[in-house]
Structure 1
Amino acid sequence: MFRGASAVHLDAKGRLAIPTRYRAELLEQNQGQMVCTVDIRQPCLLLYPLKEWEVIEQKLLELSNFDPVQRSLQRVMLGYATECELDNAGRILISGPLRQHAKLEKSIMLVGQLNKFEIWSDAEWQAQVEQDMALGATDTFALSEKLKTLSL
């Protein structure tokens, strides 16, 4: 399980080092194999361990390619999906098109989301957190029925 936000750096070749605390799990359960794709709703990337990605891939396969919205989701998520493998230094290579989508430069945030990571530019992450916190602080924050039953 991946928790917490880690400030990491992208090197000149487009590689980022996965924090040490996650490497053993990724190597043990997925032989260091991961898949990175775009988030279609946010300017970030989604980085899945291979086994988690295979579940997502199956769900995408089950969508109808005759429905324009479902087809768009398939096209973008599968079209950008790129296999990544941890190298001996615990780094993965992020392709140019993926880096461009998420506006990644040197300073980035790797954000654990339990079954996957989100990869954000530091500036985009800070703006998103501010937006999320402001939304939660307003009286107009509408909770879904599922959220109304959540106790934290």
Structure 2
Amino acid sequence: MFMGEYQHSIDDKGRLTIPAKFREGLGTSFVITRGLDKCLFIYPMQEWKVIEEKLKNLPFTKADARAFTRFFFSGATECEWDKQGRVNIPANLREHAQLVKDCVVIGVSNRVEVWSKELWEQYFAEAAHSFGEIAEKLVDFDL
């Protein structure tokens, strides 16, 4: 399980250091893809395979299913760590998440998310404001 929030910087070549405890959980090979809310999702290979199987079973006759799988898979790339424990994030993914310098790396249960610091602070401020309302909506899920 991934949890926590860490501040890091992405360098001019698009390399980002991921916290050591996240690297252990992600393994030597993992998948980065476009996430929702203008962030990136990073999945360990075993979790990626579970998601891939679920998305594969969506009905291709539904436009929303086709659109989501295109968005999700077209941005996906398999990655490995360099010798310094960094990952090179492709330009198209950096552009999607608006990653320029300061980043926030967070653990979200089965995945790691990478946010630009500015977008994370905006998102967190908005979500924190409505946290109570969100929690009420999730009561139906037995949390």
Structure 1 residues not aligned, in runs of 5+: none
For residues 76 and 110 of structure 1, the distance between their equivalents in structure 2, rounded to whole angstroms, comes to 22
Contact 2:7 2:102 survives alignment (8 Å): yes
Contact 2:34 2:71 survives alignment (8 Å): yes
Q: Structure 1 residues 90, 141: closer, same or farther in 2, change over 3 A?
A: closer
For residues 25 and 77 of structure 1, the distance between their equivalents in structure 2, rounded to whole angstroms, comes to 22
For residues 102 and 63 of structure 1, the distance between their equivalents in structure 2, rounded to whole angstroms, comes to 26
Are 2:3 and 1:3 aligned? yes
Amino acid at match of 1:17: T
How far residue 98 of structure 1 moved from its aligned partner, in angstroms, is: 0.4
For residues 68 and 16 of structure 1, the distance between their equivalents in structure 2, rounded to whole angstroms, comes to 35
Structure 2 residues not aligned, in runs of 5+: none
Are 2:119 and 1:124 aligned? yes
Moved over 6 A (4+): none
* 2:33 aligned partner: 37
Structural RMSD (CA): 1.8
Q: 1:76 aligns with which of 65, 71, 79?
A: 71
* TM-score computed with the length of structure 2 as normaliser: 0.91
* TM-score computed with the length of structure 1 as normaliser: 0.86
Amino acid at match of 1:78: F
SS of the aligned residue for 1:103 comes to coil
How far residue 65 of structure 1 moved from its aligned partner, in angstroms, is: 1.6
Contact 2:22 2:112 survives alignment (8 Å): no
Aligned length in residues: 143
How far residue 104 of structure 1 moved from its aligned partner, in angstroms, is: 0.5
Are 2:125 and 1:143 aligned? no
Structure (1/2) with the larger strand percentage: 2
The structure having more radius of gyration, on CA atoms, is: 1
Q: Between the two proteins, what is the percent identity of the paired residues?
A: 35
* 1:107 aligned partner: 102
Q: Give CA-to-partner distance per residue, 1:64-122, whole Å, 9 cap, x none.
A: 22110000011010111111111111111110000000100110011101211111000
For residues 88 and 128 of structure 1, the distance between their equivalents in structure 2, rounded to whole angstroms, comes to 33
For residues 46 and 25 of structure 1, the distance between their equivalents in structure 2, rounded to whole angstroms, comes to 14
* 2:61 aligned partner: 66
For residues 22 and 10 of structure 1, the distance between their equivalents in structure 2, rounded to whole angstroms, comes to 17
